[in-house]
A and B are shown apart, each in its own frame.
Chain A
Amino acid sequence: MNQEKSTVQIDKLKSGDEESFAMLVDETSGKIYRTLLQILGNEQDAEDILQETYLKAYRAIPEFENRSGLYTWLHRIALNEALMQIRIRKPQIVSIDDNEPFSDDLDIEQKDIVDFCCLPEGELLSKESRHFLDQAVQTLPESLRIVFVMRDIEGLSTQETADALQISENNVKIRLMRARMILRKKLSAYFNKFFIEEKEL
């Protein structure tokens, strides 16, 4: 999220040059679509919001002030659009305050203690593992998934996330912690198979 390496010329973009805008779309849309898929959980909604994002960006680009960088600016538009969509679909999801600091997510059993850090990078980030990582995010409850995507995937601060979701910063922290702990548990179970396979050899 912090990379601002666009080769698109901002002056040309602001003057309405369509070729530059098409380049911008090609440079940025893959990551934005991936984020939208993660936050919204289905392809149709992600595609609708992707289209809405670039339509808005195209209309707003003459006023773009380059304070945040193009990439960040586009991601903010996409996130705002996605949150609006979620509010329409399930108004209670975004702003509900679930200040439950301790839950079952913090119960850790011996089977959840798998030191997968020692696995080689090739296994941790293989095609199959990446697919599992994506799927695991999708299984999170929506209120946790949104916070996790905003904080750990999009790189927003706790305060920015709290403001966007209209919840307290403490609530953002609690949701993030729960999301991370659930994902850690799921990855432990998933990566444990490599240790079992190793023992069987």
Chain B
Amino acid sequence: MKNHNHAPSCKQMLGNLSEFIDGDLQAELCSEIEEHLKNCKNCRIVVDTLKKTVELYEKCASEETNLPNDVRERLFKKLALDDLKKHQESS
């Protein structure tokens, strides 16, 4: 990490962060990272914001979303369900 006091260990740690936040990292490496994080504020921010990044995408993915009307129209036509769709819309 540039502009950062303990550069070598920061960069070594970053390579394992993805597995660390997933809880998939070996216990020994986890402890090393946790130890490093105690004394390195910048790395704590990187870990927290990496977690947050994944969390934001997961949240967006879990939300319902509607198909654009024109895409829906063509999909039902392709599936030969368009008469049924018109019926559903009018009822």
Q: Which residues of A contact B (CB under 8 A)?
A: 1, 3, 18-19, 21-22, 25-26, 29-31, 33-35, 47, 50-51, 54-55, 58, 101-102, 106-110, 112-117, 124-125, 130, 133-134, 137, 152-154, 158, 173, 176-177, 180-181, 183-184, 187-188
Contacts and interface: CB of A to CB of B under 8 A. Distances in A.
A90 B91 CA distance: 45
Q: Which applies to chain A's interface (DSSP): helix, strand, loop or mixed?
A: helix
Contacts of A115: 45, 48-49
B29 interface: no
B59 interface: yes
B38 to A, nearest CB: 17
A31 B64 contact: yes
Given A25-B81, A26-B67, A181-B18, 18 more contacts: A26-B72, A30-B64, A30-B65, A33-B65, A33-B67, A34-B61, A35-B61, A51-B78, A55-B78, A101-B15, A102-B11, A108-B14, A109-B1, A113-B42, A124-B56, A130-B60, A133-B57, A187-B49
Contact of B18 (A114, A125, A177): A177
A177 B15 contact: yes
A125 B52 CA distance: 12
B39 interface: no
Contacts, number: 134
| Interface bin, chain B | 35 or more
A102 B11 CA distance: 9
Nearest to A153: B61
10 contacts: A1-B62, A18-B81, A25-B79, A26-B67, A33-B65, A47-B74, A108-B1, A158-B24, A181-B50, A187-B53
